[in-house]
């Protein structure tokens, strides 16, 4: 049986692995078969991860994190977790083709998925004008014209934030009213750089090596038009990857895994969660990494406490046996 199994190979999972491995816990990290490395595998330049003043390509950063985790003794398996049993002292983790693993603790760090528009060129131009994260990529759009798709709070927040860099920000929305809170709407309406494109959906993205224009379809008339932009921010929501723990771990109203205070402790002893899967707000590589640290330290403490309980019950048992032997000897 393992001391600790980490599920997920994003910044949260690998950072948890670095800490757990350095604590001598020989972690097993299940990294997924097709999406190993997490969200940063889908991006190009990462300029805000501390320690890389020149920036670093997303996949290179993830390779370095994996290398660092393996250097200290993490075993990484490229396989998907298909189901989990987290209740009780022994946690069981079933995988696609590597079999079943058992551990005394589990760190769940499966991240969250930005909702996509589902357009053919969306993936191809990801990191080349198409983005899901204004905090991450806004800086690359200085003096550019860009579009934000969405009508909720996060779309308004992204659009308003992006006006710090972009010359013009279109907000493309399928309806003629917004879902966003009143205050977020007003802030966006008052911003001179923001122009709303109502009753419109993006049906195409064009550009050879970078975004050049969007094809829009009017949701009322069906008419098509072109909107020349150099960037597209998709802000239509986010789904924490929690399907494996439904019915086992408590969730928040945002759909993330509920943890106790600033810790990574879930409702089940020995089960910890870290990264974007617990975070409805910040969702950055460095916050995910920090959260992985918290989870590893929590798991380490949990295991040490468990060892202590087991040790003292062994001592109690030995003392009880010794008393019994004494009694038997005295009776003779
Ligand atoms: C295009 C893009 C650009 C970004 N740019 C930046 C940036 O410049 N700076 C920044 O700080 N942040 C950036 N972010 C955000 C950042 O990538 C995330 O906040 C961060 O990756 C979250 O880390 P995580 O470890 O929680 O989850 P993730 O990185 O999402 O990793 C989750 C991991 O869990 C694995 N997993 C899921 N289900 C299973 C399963 N069943 N079995 C096994 N494994 C599983 C996945 O395969 C993945 O490896 C960007 C995000 C995107 C999408």
User: pLDDT tens digits for 63-74?
Assistant: 999 999 999 999
Q: Which residue has a Cα nearest atom 7 of ligand 1?
A: 136
Q: Which residue has a Cα nearest atom 47 of ligand 1?
A: 35
180: confidence class by pLDDT, cuts 50, 70, 90 = confident
136 is catalytic: yes
% of the chain with per-residue pLDDT over 70: 100
Q: Which residue has a Cα nearest atom 9 of ligand 1?
A: 136
Query: At residue 153, does pLDDT exceed 90?
Result: no
Structure tokens at 204: 């195409």
What number of CA atoms fall less than 13 Å from residue 63's CA on the CB side?
5
Fold of 2-114+238-314: FAD/NAD(P)-binding domain (3.50.50)
Sheet containing strand 145-149, strands side by side? 130-131, 231-234, 145-149, 168-172, 194-197
Identify the pLDDT of residue 313.
79
Identify the pLDDT of residue 115.
92
Give me the residue spans of the domains in the chain: 2-114+238-314, 120-234
The better pLDDT of the pair 135, 193 is held by 193
Structure tokens at 141: 């759009």
Q: For the chain, what is the mean pLDDT? A: 94
Query: How far does residue 75's CA lie from ligand 1's centre (Å)?
Result: 20
CB-based burial label for 195 (10 Å; 0-12, 13-18, 19+): middle
Q: Is the CB of 46 under 6 A from ligand 1?
A: yes
Q: Is the CB of 219 under 6 A from ligand 1?
A: no
Structure tokens at 131: 């983005």
Identify the pLDDT of residue 71.
97
Alpha-helical regions (H) of 182-284: 182-190
Query: How far does residue 125's CA lie from ligand 1's centre (Å)?
Result: 18
Query: How far does residue 70's CA lie from ligand 1's centre (Å)?
Result: 19
Query: At residue 332, does pLDDT exceed 80?
Result: no
CATH 3.50.50.60 given to domain 120-234: yes
Identify the pLDDT of residue 317.
81
Catalytic hit among 80, 136, 276, 279: 136
89 is catalytic: no
Query: Using one digit for the tens of pLDDT, what is the confidence trace for 28-59?
Result: 999 998 789 999 987 788 999 999 999 999 99
Query: At residue 83, does pLDDT exceed 90?
Result: yes
Identify the pLDDT of residue 277.
98
Mean pLDDT, residues 202-231 taken together: 97
2: confidence class by pLDDT, cuts 50, 70, 90 = very high
Candidate of 7, 8, 100 to mutate for ligand 1, largest count of ligand atoms within 8 Å of Cβ: 8
Q: Compute the chain's Rg from CA coordinates.
A: 25
- Asked if 291 contacts 14 with a C-beta cutoff of 8 angstroms, the reply is no
Query: At residue 331, does pLDDT exceed 80?
Result: no
185: confidence class by pLDDT, cuts 50, 70, 90 = very high
Query: How far does residue 16's CA lie from ligand 1's centre (Å)?
Result: 14
Query: How far does residue 10's CA lie from ligand 1's centre (Å)?
Result: 5
**Sign of torsion, CA 38 39 42 48?**
negative
Candidate of 52, 110, 116 to mutate for ligand 1, largest count of ligand atoms within 8 Å of Cβ: 110
Q: Is the CB of 11 under 6 A from ligand 1?
A: yes
Please tell me the least confidently modeled range out of 78-82, 253-257, 305-309.
305-309
Identify the pLDDT of residue 7.
98
134: confidence class by pLDDT, cuts 50, 70, 90 = very high
Domains 2-114+238-314 and 120-234 share a fold: yes
Ligand 1, residue 274: give the atom nearest the CA.
26
250 is catalytic: no
Identify the pLDDT of residue 100.
98
Mean pLDDT, residues 66-83 taken together: 97
Mean pLDDT, residues 250-270 taken together: 97
Q: Residue 327 in 3-state DSSP?
A: helix
Ligand 1, residue 48: give the atom nearest the CA.
9
């Amino acid at each position: 049986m393992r001391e600790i199994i980490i599920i997920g190979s994003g910044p949260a999972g690998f950072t948890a692995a670095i800490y757990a491995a350095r604590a001598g816990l020989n972690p097993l990290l299940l990294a997924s078969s097709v999406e190993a490395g997490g969200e940063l595998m889908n991006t190009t330049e990462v300029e805000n991860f501390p320690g890389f003043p020149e920036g670093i390509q997303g996949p290179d950063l993830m390779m370095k994190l994996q290398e660092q985790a393996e250097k200290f003794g993490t075993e990484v398996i490229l396989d998907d977790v298909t189901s989990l049993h987290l209740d009780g002292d022994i946690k069981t983790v079933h995988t696609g083709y590597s079999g079943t693993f058992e551990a005394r603790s589990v760190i769940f760090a499966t991240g969250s998925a930005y909702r996509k528009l589902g357009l053919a060129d969306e993936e191809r131009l990801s990191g080349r004008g198409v983005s899901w994260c204004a905090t991450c990529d806004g800086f690359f759009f200085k003096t550019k014209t860009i579009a934000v798709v969405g009508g909720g709070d996060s779309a308004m927040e992204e659009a308003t934030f992006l006006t710090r860099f972009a010359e013009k920000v279109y907000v493309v929305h399928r309806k003629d009213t917004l879902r966003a809170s009143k205050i977020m709407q007003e802030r966006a309406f008052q911003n001179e750089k923001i122009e709303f494109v109502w009753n419109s959906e993006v049906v195409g993205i064009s550009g050879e090596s970078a975004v050049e224009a969007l094809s829009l379809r009017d949701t009322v008339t069906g008419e098509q038009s072109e909107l020349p932009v150099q960037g597209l921010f998709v802000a239509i929501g986010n789904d924490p990857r929690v399907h494996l723990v439904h019915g086992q771990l408590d969730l928040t109203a945002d759909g993330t895994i509920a943890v106790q205070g600033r810790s990574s402790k879930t409702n089940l002893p020995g089960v910890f969660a870290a990264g974007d899967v617990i975070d409805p707000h910040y969702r950055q590589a460095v916050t995910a990494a920090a959260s992985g640290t918290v989870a590893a330290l929590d798991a380490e403490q949990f295991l040490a406490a468990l060892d202590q309980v087991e040790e003292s019950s062994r001592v109690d048992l030995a003392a009880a046996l010794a008393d019994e032997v004494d009694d038997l000897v005295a009776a003779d």
